[in-house]
Chain A
């Protein structure tokens, strides 16, 4: 199967602002790919280029084997898109907008439409001007999820949804994954990406700085270790891969890279382990590591 999204060296500037600066992104068929980054990192710009709304200044972009700018109309028949800021036509009702958006793409799954409206608890007879932010988001989500397409491009899809509705959304993502279809999910909500995504690309200042499965990413990073030993352990600070060591008598706390884990444990056992707690970093911590521009390598906030 061909790659669903293949982006290499993507560049885009708005006046003097460089929004994308050599961004690479690969999404394989059937995966739920998290596109993670803080506000202003270039997530939405990338998605808008993939949708053919913006024209790339440089780099290569292939979407479902086509050119997102030149083949936009044909490609859009195979894509469902939820924009980051959902603005609707105030005088149309929610039901009318869902139907309209479906028809603009070439029809939607009627059974799914009914089910989604019920599951998301939406009143489709209200005029859009009266909908709250969360309800506007639901309309865009329903219109997208009711479409039988190969690729779903979702820009912060749960923004404004309450946790209950967020859970409904996650169930649908799971369903889509099981159908073998592909999702590109841009978000800055780490917990959501952690639960939903098979692979993650972390973007910062217009470049992808890290990509891989969550396990891969964790492997590259440090494990948090807290231990209580019978005798104080000396000389740990000299061990390769051990960072931010805090020793308080027989208690110690440190971070350790995968390569140094083995030797650290050996030393601890020699000192008589009374208790040991080791924990892989959360995505939160991964994320902080990449955005910690002020003080690189400074201690992580322990949860």
Chain B
């Protein structure tokens, strides 16, 4: 296997480079699982309480769409698998796809792959090494899940099934990134494409679970749930993610065979010999740099919004079609519109993703600097504020644009189905746009770091991760109110369940502005490079 010579050394190199990031990811995911699993016994100690709880879930199709179908809520293991299965599958998928994209296309992009491949290293060794590291990370995750749940006194068989089901679904997205890394020319684009696949997998599963469940079989996240850990495990389902990972990896190798190192699938064509009138200054340059990501995110949010608009309709109609369930819901005090609650939850998730976009776009400033491209701009007649603002402009309007895309698409699809586009479209558009100031706060934080602590810009991702935990499993962490208050999402009104109010949004906007100005002042005062 000459084409794989050197894989072992490259695995060791990758593990060394990941020695901080990977343990942080795995540690956070396992801690989340621990928090959820250990709190169920306290929240619902008796079987009778758990039956009541299960009934509440069954009558909340919105929750089923967001998290999947529960198969056994009487056992703590079954509850854990249901409650955090889908969120962890998504996060693990994100970890896997970024990891693989970074160690394949990312290495080619920086030119380091050339250095490595010039040594006694086989053609496919870097690709193989990236996948091996991803698989190792997934395996370690599965082992940690097993240990955690067994220590908490859960059934070992179920714990093995849950760990493997989640780990293998994560690996699918690592293998997907191996494939997209052959097509895309940058690590960012490879992650973006694979991330779109991840979002699609989640949306397809949600659509399936909101209906008869058949569609969920098309999603690797659905497979993780169909393994049914702690509920009479179906082991054969694990073959699906395993087979898909192998298939995607094989396809990636087949594509890698057809291309040159550093090249994508696109054949290079001559471009413009002269710049157009729009490429005339920092803003024109920033547009060219942000354009691709901006379009990709807009398209992703548009599709996601449209799919969830369809689900919102299913969620709402489930109770209409089933008067018995509707009766139970109203007896439980559920006077809230289920569809509205679902919509609000979807937008709160999308808002976190949109914040990810804002952070990414803002950190371009730092990327241009460390990539030594900033000095071409700053070495000419462009001031630091003008340069920083050119990027911040696209980060800020980008957030509004992609949230509007999701809200508009959802409002349109939902509106058509309930025959009321004229009122649903503006209502859901508003419900999406209400998160713009919160996303800006994270952009402001990223900018403040760029200006004041440029070596610590990664902290903005960590903060986003913490806010995500607050949202997804906050209720299990018994966090003090002051801590939750540190999140801008805590202060954003959950439209359309509650009325939008201007005061908190204005306050968040002011905070975002203050952080941004702090960053710009810092940027003007510090050394570049």
Contact = CB atoms under 8 A, between A and B. Distances in A.
B275 A96 contact: yes
B381 A73 contact: yes
Interface stretch (B71-79, B165-173, B282-290): B282-290
Contacts of B372: 83, 85-87
Given A53-B378, A95-B275, A105-B380, A87 B288 contact: no
Interface stretch (B232-240, B266-274, B509-517): B266-274
Contacts of A194: none
B285 A100 contact: yes
Given A51-B375, A54-B528, A126-B270, A99 B282 contact: no
Given A95-B273, A96-B279, A99-B274, A104 B529 contact: no
A122 B376 CA distance: 19
B379 A55 contact: no
A83 B280 CA distance: 21
Contacts of A106: 381
Interface in A214-268: none
Interface string A181-193: 0000000000000
Interface stretch (A32-40, A74-82, A162-170, A288-296): A74-82
Contact of A99 (B271, B275, B528): B275
Given A54-B527, A73-B383, A90 B185 contact: yes
A104 B381 CA distance: 6
A104 B377 contact: yes
Contacts of A104: 281-282, 285, 376-377, 380-382
A106 B273 CA distance: 19
With most chain B CB atoms within 10 A of its CB, the pick from A48, A54, A76, A100 is: A100
> Which of B270, B273, B279 has the most chain A CB within a 10 Å cutoff?
B273
Instruction: Sort chain A's interface into a size bin.
Output: 35 or more
Contacts of B275: 95-97, 99-100, 103
Interface in A103-138: 103-106, 123-127, 129-130
B272 A93 contact: yes
Contact of B272 (A81, A83, A96): A96
Contacts, number: 111
A25 interface: no
A92 B382 contact: no
Interface string B355-379: 0000000000000000111011111
Nearest to A48: B529
Contacts of A76: 379-382
B268 A93 contact: no
B266 to A, nearest CB: 10
A97 to B, nearest CB: 8
Interface in B289-315: 289, 292
Contacts of B382: 73, 76, 104
Contact of A125 (B270, B279, B380): B270
Contacts of A92: 279, 288
Interface in B370-428: 371-373, 375-383
Contacts of A83: 372, 375-376, 379
B288 A89 contact: yes
Contacts of A89: 285, 288-289, 373
A211 to B, nearest CB: 25
Interface string A5-23: 0000000000000000000
Contacts of B528: 48, 53-54
Interface of A: 48, 51-55, 72-74, 76-77, 79, 81, 83, 85-93, 95-97, 99-101, 103-106, 123-127, 129-130, 140
20 contacts: A52-B378, A73-B383, A76-B381, A77-B381, A83-B376, A89-B288, A91-B292, A92-B279, A92-B288, A93-B270, A93-B272, A95-B272, A103-B281, A104-B376, A104-B380, A104-B382, A105-B380, A126-B268, A127-B268, A140-B376
